[in-house]
Amino acid sequence: MAADVAILILRVVLGLTMAAHGYNKFFGGGRIAGTARWFESIGMKPGTFHARVAASTELAAGLGLALGLLTPVPAAGFVALMLVAAWTVHRHNGFFIVKEGWEYNLILAVTAVAIAGTGAGRYSLDYALFHTSGFYHLLHGWCGLAIAVVLGLAGGVGQLVIFFRPPVKAGSA
């Protein structure tokens, strides 16, 4: 019982944190247009496409994880999002977030993967909808872990290979 409540708290806080990032891209300060300009500036082109994809994925993965719905899939979204963020924005700044490093990205991705491995718990849509089906075993344990890691890495690496073209700094050409 305590483990189910603990995983619920972790899922909800982590998921809603990610969903808030997506919401902010859609409705906050710069909205999609501002986010698109920023994506263009870091080499993710076309910027509007990536702004919409990032915002939608953050919302969907965040809400999916918070609800515990098909948990390894939203966890894979976290991995892909955080891999792209770490590689495009934070990798040159070292590890620590206080120096704009990739520490925060790592924590979000690894926590989502850990949830996929442990399962969403008794207080989740996965449990409510699938615990009596033959499908449930795919949503936790080694299967959940593998789905989150493999899909997440494939999505993140694929996006970087296809779309990331870092800007050339003046004087480095």
pLDDT for 52: 97
Prior bond of 74 cis (ω within 30°)? no
Q: 104-109: long-range contacts (C-beta < 8 A, 24 or more apart)?
A: 106/82, 108/14, 108/17, 108/18, 108/78, 108/82, 109/78, 109/79, 109/81, 109/82, 109/83, 109/152
Residues of the chain whose pLDDT is less than 50? none
End-to-end CA distance of the chain: 60
pLDDT for 158: 97
Q: What share of the chain in percent tops pLDDT 70?
A: 98
pLDDT for 56: 98
Burial class (CB in 10 A: 0-12, 13-18, 19+), 133: exposed
pLDDT for 7: 98
Tens digit of each residue's pLDDT (9 = 90 or more) over 34-60? 999 999 999 999 999 999 999 999 999
pLDDT for 172: 59
